[in-house]
Structure 1
Amino acid sequence: MYRKKTAGLLAGWLFGFVLSLQAQLHPKLIVVVVVDQMRADYLDRFASYEHGGLHFLATQGANFLNANFEHLPTETCPGHAVLLSGRNPVHTGIVANDWYDRDTGKMMYCVEDANSVVIGDSGAAVSPRNFLGENFSDWLQTSYPGARVFSISLKDRAAILLGGHHPQSVLWFSHETGRFITSRYYADRLPGWVEEFNSKRVPDSYASKEWTPVMGDSSPAYHTREVAGRFPHVMPSKAGRELYDRVYGSPFGDEVLGAFAESAATANQLGENPRDAPDLLAIGFSSNDAVGHAYGPDGPEMADEQIRLDRTLGHLVESLSARLGKENVLWVLSADHGAEPTPEAELELDHNRSARRIPFSDALNSMEKQLSAIFRITGDVHWFAGQADSMLYFDRAELARHGISLAAASRALVTQVHDVPGVAGFYDTSRLASVPGWIGTFLRNSASTTRSGDVYYLTKEWTLFSSKSTGTSHGDPWPYDTHVPLVIAGWRIQPQRIKRNVQIADLAPTLASLIGVHSPRLEVVDGRSRKDWLKLRAHTDLKQP
């Protein structure tokens, strides 16, 4: 009897030991938070006003202080594609938000897919089919059968490019209806929990609401040069496209997405996987980008956006921690690109006297006039069939009509066109192997032989190509656009501030090595695992019975 009782106790202990060991080998839930257009300096700049989710991540996680993208253009689509794939645009194929498709003669949206119509709305047909290869979401499901992947955002491209090829759900916000929707690539109909959330009409609750400084006008957080806009910003009074656009372009959009994220996690019991596999929830907060484009990175609107986002994330951290325990959730914080300071702010604060804002048409006109002079062509010539950020596509039919080869046109643009407003230089996409220095590395990381332009152009530092008189943009390979936050927190991660340089492509292989994800695709990533740089809490010591 004693032996049977001892054997039973031992079996029970072993069972508990195995379960405990499994729990320590991987987190129950991985939450990847990507804040569109979040500059790295925001974490420190607003630290004294934040006590929620951003504060938790920045102070309790491994904070990589010098994390940069190494490609151009620095835009939403390429950035999101790099983040969880560990591969640069040359390998993901996502070379820009849009690129010129030489076969169709039209611009191609990065997630465009005519065969994947939208479910729940009449928006553009989209899917991840333009994304080449796999990302961490796919590796996770290969290594842990039963792992569930959910990816949500206000932007379709953000949700799609974080979600991989085989997620359970990928959902984004419709500006037409204020609902969260998906495409037929993922499902034939919206899940019940999404329909239930949509029925609450959360965005409509912001009708007539005033966006005012959450900490009050007198807070030092808002004592900065106001680039554009004046508080309060009043939301439209009626439900509809105008209201949904304005909600999207304010911190209220973050609040809507935060509530949707909590619904996704609760309704699907993320982190309580019946097959003891880690679940993944990717969240793309897009409103920060809209605020930056409208008001710039240095005004009180951006300060309020960040402070409110901290609170929104704080609610999510508290909700997931209460249900799963903080030690069972692994958090990641990063961004898809940074943002250029507005030239007006740079000049007024006397930070940089070379800062300027010019319309891209000025640069384009200069290029075309010089090319016409070089080839002694009179009259109007349509030199370019397409233009994407940092890329130019020659009109090959027009070149043929004038007896000019593509090589000759590219060579002329690179070597003979000078003093183009706002342009520091041109680079022939077919001859990037010989380009020296950091710009050569960036270009080779970026260029696809089938999707990239014939020539890349490098915008001068502190030049903002914009026809608007306010706000900012991004897309260049300068530090203000490439330098973004990178934080890994929760689970076994101990707080530390890491000053060594990393590229954002290092994130995916680092996550993979942290939780034991294996895939043949990991052999061809551009990034490197930085697990060895992290301070990890030891596995819990289990006492002998």
Structure 2
Amino acid sequence: MESDPVKLKYPIAALAAALSLSGPAAGLAQDRAAPAPKVTAATPAPKLLVVIAVDQFSADLFAEYRGHFTGGLARLASGVVFPSGYQAHGATETCPGHSTILTGNHPAHTGIVANNYFDLDAARADKRLYCAEDETVPGTSSKGDQYAPSAKHLLVPTLGDLMKDRDPRAQVVSVSGKDRSAIMMGGHKADELMWLTPTGLTSYRGRALSPVAQQASAAIAAAIAAPQPGLTLPADCAAHDIAIPLDGGKGGSVGTGRFAREGGDFRAFRASPQADGAVLAAAAALRQTRRMGEGDGTDLLIVGLSATDYVGHGTGTEGSEMCLQMLALDRELGDFFARLDATGIDYLVTLTADHGGHDLPERNRQNAWPAAQRVDRALDPDKIGKAVAEKLGLPQPLLYGDGGDYYLSKALTPAQRKAALDEILPRLRAHPQVEAVVTAEELAAHSISKRPADVWTLMDKLRASYNPQRSGDFIIALKPRVTPIPEPGIGYVATHGSVWDYDRRVPILFWRRGIASFEQPNAVMTVDILPTLAAQIDLPVDGAKIDGRCLDLLSGPEDSCSS
């Protein structure tokens, strides 16, 4: 039997009983219907900061579905809204994006230049490094489930780290659908940090989950093990119910899915609204058990919601699956906020995304963009490196790459390096799908821009992602609407990662009970979030050590950044 997604309660409700989530905490209940005191510059700091990152929640998705929101996203849209926020840098991937949200720094300074990059001097045989691993752990590699999760590569402190430095009693908890999300936002000093796996929740190797996290993990594992019937498509999603053939019809189709899955299928679970509900339920349970927001200071609860990203990759951004996901996300956030409301805690919410996203080219070609295409396999670094090495008689492998960064072999002499670049760069620049090829030397000579992110040049975007110790010898930027997936397959048909605004633009939303609503459509950046939240809790931040600026959240002449 199919279920109506408007009425269906996902795990934040279904798991509430299993996790013993209660109503108002003793002594904290208040009449939520009473008029809220207006937030002013003199209002005391909130007791709880809630930072939510929705993976691949682009400004385009927010705008498209904003009129359909009635739950948590509708609440946030009634607060302080920056609809055109920017992940300003060029490497619009999950790890770099999450690294900017609570550090106030671009990837150039966080050191997180990509999800994966290469260190050809690494001691282990696998020179490819995952952004959130410790490659010095014996017997590990960058491959999935074979690396040791770690915050080692994050070069700067997070908001939670700074809060702990000021007051070690401040609680910092980070829970997410992905390890890199939890780690990059949670930082180096989080009290608890965990993410979804096929067996529930996990944390760093050697770090045991707390009792309530273990309870949440068991409840989530049970939800994963149970089959999920398909959902009935509501009227709001009917226009998206169009099958898009893949690979000329040989690869199946996307666009008409309903999230039905067999029991135990974790890959399908994480690419469904159930995953976000599970993370929110775990976050609510951790807040309740740890009594976050009930002490003398301010605590920080970090929530990374990853289902939107998996849906976007697996079925694109404009199908019925994404429509169902947006409505469910709105509903689940509403349930989560209602549970916070019931405590009477004064909390401030910030919601943004690690990057945007673009629909699969097959659907774009049906919907008024016939030039959308997939990347040419000829741009694969292994193929380019082999061809050039054979032509010039150079040692192989010559070229390493995983995305926009390309690395030349360290075995080359200076003369061989010059010869290789003289052959490779013109070849790439002449390719019709390549917008630009920029060398490390060119980026190192280019200053990080201080201008608004919406007027950044391509060099500005790439420079904000460039770190001289970690970035490639040169970086390739593809032309607009060239999807860097050569062939679609079920589970991975669309992606992000480009320098273009559909991947850079994200909403940045703030809400607190009693705050006056306003909307500011000018360009702000995710690096502005840390100084903005720090000002809300009177936490000093050295402006010379961050790339962001404080955003004034008070409508009118008062300034929340100078209080």
TM-score by structure 1 length?
0.83
Q: CA deviation at 1:496?
A: 1.2
Instruction: Name 2:120's counterpart in structure 1.
Output: 102
Q: CA deviation at 1:538?
A: 10
Pair 1:103–1:115, CA change in 2 (3 A): closer
Residue ranges of structure 1 left out of the alignment (5+ in a row): 1-19, 540-545
Instruction: Name 2:371's counterpart in structure 1.
Output: 354
Residues 145-186 of structure 1, C-alpha deviations (whole Å, 9 max, x = no match): 4211000001011001111211110011122x2x211115xx
Name the stretch that deviates more: 471-480 or 429-438: 429-438
Are 1:390 and 2:404 matched, yes or no? Answer: yes
Match of 2:356 among 338, 352, 362: 338
In 2, Cα distance between equivalents of 1:492 and 1:144: 27
- Alignment check: 8 A CA contact 1:99 1:107 kept: yes
In 1, Cα distance between equivalents of 2:290 and 2:557: 29
Q: CA deviation at 1:144?
A: 4.1
Residue ranges of structure 2 left out of the alignment (5+ in a row): 1-38, 245-253, 448-455
Pair 1:205–1:464, CA change in 2 (3 A): closer
In 2, Cα distance between equivalents of 1:464 and 1:301: 20
Letter in 2 for 1:467: P
Instruction: Name 2:183's counterpart in structure 1.
Output: 160
Pair 1:418–1:223, CA change in 2 (3 A): closer
Q: CA deviation at 1:502?
A: 1.1
Q: CA deviation at 1:92?
A: 0.7
Pair 1:258–1:123, CA change in 2 (3 A): farther
Instruction: Name 1:250's counterpart in structure 2.
Output: 272
- Alignment check: 8 A CA contact 2:82 2:522 kept: yes
Q: Secondary structure at 1:46's aligned position in 2?
A: helix
Are 1:449 and 2:471 matched, yes or no? Answer: no
Instruction: Name 1:472's counterpart in structure 2.
Output: 494
- Alignment check: 8 A CA contact 1:423 1:458 kept: yes
Are 1:72 and 2:83 matched, yes or no? Answer: no
Match of 1:53 among 56, 65, 72: 72
Name the stretch that deviates more: 417-426 or 284-293: 417-426
Q: CA deviation at 1:205?
A: 5.9
Name the stretch that deviates more: 425-434 or 161-170: 425-434
In 2, Cα distance between equivalents of 1:248 and 1:410: 42
Instruction: Name 1:111's counterpart in structure 2.
Output: 132
Are 1:261 and 2:272 matched, yes or no? Answer: no
State the number of aligned residues.
Answer: 495
Q: CA deviation at 1:416?
A: 5.6
Letter in 1 for 2:443: L
In 2, Cα distance between equivalents of 1:313 and 1:419: 48
TM-score by structure 2 length?
0.81
- Alignment check: 8 A CA contact 1:114 1:125 kept: yes
In 2, Cα distance between equivalents of 1:226 and 1:339: 20
Q: CA deviation at 1:450?
A: 1.3
Are 1:485 and 2:507 matched, yes or no? Answer: yes
Q: CA deviation at 1:109?
A: 0.7
Match of 1:315 among 323, 331, 335: 335
Residues 275-320 of structure 1, C-alpha deviations (whole Å, 9 max, x = no match): x111110000011111000000011100100100111111110000
Pair 1:535–1:79, CA change in 2 (3 A): farther
Letter in 2 for 1:236: E
Larger radius of gyration: 1
Pair 1:229–1:452, CA change in 2 (3 A): same
Pair 1:369–1:157, CA change in 2 (3 A): closer
Q: CA deviation at 1:196?
A: 2.0
Q: CA deviation at 1:406?
A: 2.8
Q: How does 1:178-193 map to 2 (within 5 A)?
A: 179-184=200-205, 188-193=207-212
Q: How does 1:194-233 map to 2 (within 5 A)?
A: 194-204=213-223, 207-213=226-232, 216-220=233-237, 222-223=239-240, 225-227=242-244, 228-233=254-259
- Alignment check: 8 A CA contact 2:292 2:299 kept: yes
- Alignment check: 8 A CA contact 1:433 1:440 kept: no
Instruction: Name 1:40's counterpart in structure 2.
Output: 59
Q: CA deviation at 1:58?
A: 1.2
- Alignment check: 8 A CA contact 1:116 1:126 kept: no
In 2, Cα distance between equivalents of 1:534 and 1:412: 56
Letter in 1 for 2:257: F
Instruction: Name 1:15's counterpart in structure 2.
Output: none
Letter in 2 for 1:501: A
Residues 406-429 of structure 1, C-alpha deviations (whole Å, 9 max, x = no match): 345335433464332522121111
Name the stretch that deviates more: 437-446 or 388-397: 437-446
Are 1:234 and 2:260 matched, yes or no? Answer: yes
Letter in 2 for 1:107: R
Instruction: Name 1:516's counterpart in structure 2.
Output: 538
Pair 1:532–1:205, CA change in 2 (3 A): closer
In 2, Cα distance between equivalents of 1:33 and 1:112: 23
Q: CA deviation at 1:266?
A: 1.0
Residues 377-423 of structure 1, C-alpha deviations (whole Å, 9 max, x = no match): 26995330x212211011232x34xx744345335433464332522
Letter in 1 for 2:438: Y
Q: CA deviation at 1:247?
A: 0.6
Instruction: Name 2:107's counterpart in structure 1.
Output: 89
Instruction: Name 2:315's counterpart in structure 1.
Output: 295
Pair 1:246–1:159, CA change in 2 (3 A): same
Q: Indicate the percent of aligned positions where both proteins have the same amino acid.
A: 29
In 2, Cα distance between equivalents of 1:126 and 1:415: 39
Pair 1:331–1:192, CA change in 2 (3 A): same
- Alignment check: 8 A CA contact 1:424 1:459 kept: yes
Q: How does 1:119-130 map to 2 (within 5 A)?
A: 124-130=147-153
In 2, Cα distance between equivalents of 1:396 and 1:39: 38
Letter in 2 for 1:346: N
Name the stretch that deviates more: 525-534 or 132-141: 525-534
Q: CA deviation at 1:229?
A: 4.7
- Alignment check: 8 A CA contact 1:128 1:161 kept: yes
- Alignment check: 8 A CA contact 1:67 1:485 kept: yes
- Alignment check: 8 A CA contact 1:27 1:330 kept: yes
